[in-house]
Amino acid sequence: MNHFNYKDNHLYCENIKVADIARKVGTPFYLYSHATLKQHFKVFDNAFSGIKHLTCFSVKANSSLAILRLFLNEGSGLDIVSGGELFRGLRAGVQGNKIVYSGVGKRIEDLEYAIKSGILMFNTESSQEIHTIDEVAGRLGKKARIAIRVNPDVDPQTHPYISTGLKENKFGIEINEAFNQYLVANRLPNLKVEGISCHIGSQLTSIRPFEDALVKVNKLFEDLKHAGIIIKYLDIGGGLGITYKDEKPPHPDKYALAIKKTLNNPDLTLITEPGRVIMGNAGVMITKVIYSKAAGEKLFYIMDAAMNDLMRPSLYDAFHAIQPVEIFHRKKVTADIVGPICESGDFFAKGREMEACQPQELMAIMSAGAYGFTMSSNYNSRTRPCEVMVKDNCFYIIRSRETYEDLIRGEIIPDFLEKP
Shortest Å, Cβ 327 to ligand LLP: 28
- Binds ligand LLP (CB under 6 A): choice among 312, 384, 391, 399: 312
- Binds ligand LLP (CB under 6 A): choice among 34, 145, 199, 382: 199
- Binds ligand LLP (CB under 6 A): choice among 45, 134, 273, 304: 273
Query: Toward ligand LLP, which CB reaches closer, 83 or 239?
Result: 239
- Binds ligand LLP (CB under 6 A): choice among 45, 79, 110, 153: 79
CB atoms within 10 A of CB 156: 26
Residue 215: which H helix or E strand, with range?
Answer: helix 208-226
Residue type, 195: G
| 9-68 binders of ligand LLP (CB under 6 A) | 58, 60-61
Question: Would you list the DSSP string of 341-399?
Answer: SSSTT-EEEEEEEEE---TT-EEEE-S-SSSSGGG---GGGPPPPEEEEEETTEEEEEE
Query: Toward ligand LLP, which CB reaches closer, 287 or 376?
Result: 376
Rg for the chain (alpha carbons), in Å?
A: 23
CA torsion 94→97→98→104, rounded to 10°? Answer: 110
Shortest Å, Cβ 9 to ligand LLP: 31
Interaction of residue 102 with ligand LLP, rule CB under 6 A: yes
Query: Toward ligand LLP, which CB reaches closer, 301 or 371?
Result: 371
Shortest Å, Cβ 255 to ligand LLP: 11
Residue type, 309: D
Q: Looking at 13, 198, 342, 357, which residue is catalytic? A: 342
- Residue 357 falls in the annotated catalytic set: no
Cβ distance 218 to 264 under 8 Å?
A: yes
Shortest Å, Cβ 56 to ligand LLP: 8
6 to each of 10, 255, 327, how far by Cα in Å? 5, 31, 9
CB-facing half-sphere around the CA of 292: CA atoms within 13 A: 14
Cβ distance 51 to 317 under 8 Å?
A: no
Residue 45: which H helix or E strand, with range?
Answer: helix 34-47
How many Å apart are CA 187 and CA 372, to the nearest integer?
A: 42
Number of residues that bind ligand LLP (CB under 6 A): 23
- Binds ligand LLP (CB under 6 A): choice among 162, 285, 341, 389: 162
Shortest Å, Cβ 104 to ligand LLP: 10
| 316-355 binders of ligand LLP (CB under 6 A) | 316
Interaction of residue 272 with ligand LLP, rule CB under 6 A: no
Residues recognised as catalytic: 342
Residues in contact with ligand LLP by CB under 6 A are 58, 60-61, 79, 102, 162, 199, 202-203, 237-240, 273-277, 312, 316, 370-371, 375
